[in-house]
Amino acid sequence: MLLADFGTSYCKILDTDRNGPPVIQATRDLESNFCADLATGHNAGRRSKKSINELTALARGGEQLIQDPDFVLLDCGSRDIKYVRYGHNRIIDMGWNAECGASMGFTVELLKKYYDLDYNTIPVPDRGFSVTCGVLGMSHIFDAVIDGITESEAVARFVYGIAMNGYRFAGSPDRLYLSGGLCDNPLFVGSFPCEVVLLGRFVLLAGLQEFMKRDIR
């Protein structure tokens, strides 16, 4: 069975008939006729036989991967951020910020390429910008550079700002389970003022696998 998490920038694809790990492919490179059996994400409706709501896939994936009965799981994607909060193994809150406050992951990657930065080598700054969304956040970077701050420091403050934005959006938990491509960005992860447990990029795929098992049962 072909499972897919169709992200805005990257697709995560798992063929359950093979034993290999999931494959990550840039969305722009995906063949036009690619069709999954079960999928989630923005393009799931038109690129799969059956689609699952992203928040539901995130929650089901979290249930599979997290042993703690009380947890907050935040998924930081290219276009949006979303979270689920569980108490006593039961969903008690959730949120999905898809419009205002969006495009942050995408902007982080754009900035890396434009300024030729390596996020592994940039230290976490002691403060960040107040970032409302990716586009407005970039204005802060441009202004900071004009004021003489280095490009890497300005971008670091932007990244710090979006981490704080996600942290507050998720309800400022003491421990945060993090999902999505930004798990691989140490500057972003280090900017959270709380314990961060990295779950990586395949949490929604884990959620789809759970749906698949239920369908089989």
Q: Which two tokens stand for residue 99?
A: 């419009």
Residue with Cβ nearer other proteins (3 or 80): 80
Please give the Cα distance from 69 to 92 (Å, whole number).
12
Residue with Cβ nearer other proteins (91 or 145): 91
Please give the Cα distance from 101 to 94 (Å, whole number).
16
Residue with Cβ nearer other proteins (94 or 145): 94
Interface with other proteins, residue 59, by CB under 8 A: yes
Interface with other proteins, residue 9, by CB under 8 A: no
Applying the rule CB under 8 A, the residues between 29 and 58 that interact with other proteins are 53-56
Size of the site for other proteins (CB under 8 A): 16
**CA nearest neighbour of 11 among 32, 41, 35, 38:** 41
Residue with Cβ nearer other proteins (25 or 56): 56
CB of 85 to other proteins, least distance (A): 11
CB of 92 to other proteins, least distance (A): 6
CB of 91 to other proteins, least distance (A): 4
Residue 20 near residue 2, CB atoms below 8 Å: no
CB of 161 to other proteins, least distance (A): 22
CB of 42 to other proteins, least distance (A): 8
Interface with other proteins, residue 68, by CB under 8 A: no
Residue with Cβ nearer other proteins (53 or 150): 53
Applying the rule CB under 8 A, the residues between 77 and 106 that interact with other proteins are 80, 84, 90-96, 98-99
Please give the Cα distance from 180 to 50 (Å, whole number).
22
CB of 9 to other proteins, least distance (A): 17
Residue with Cβ nearer other proteins (58 or 189): 58
Binding site for other proteins (CB under 8 A): 53-56, 59, 80, 84, 90-96, 98-99
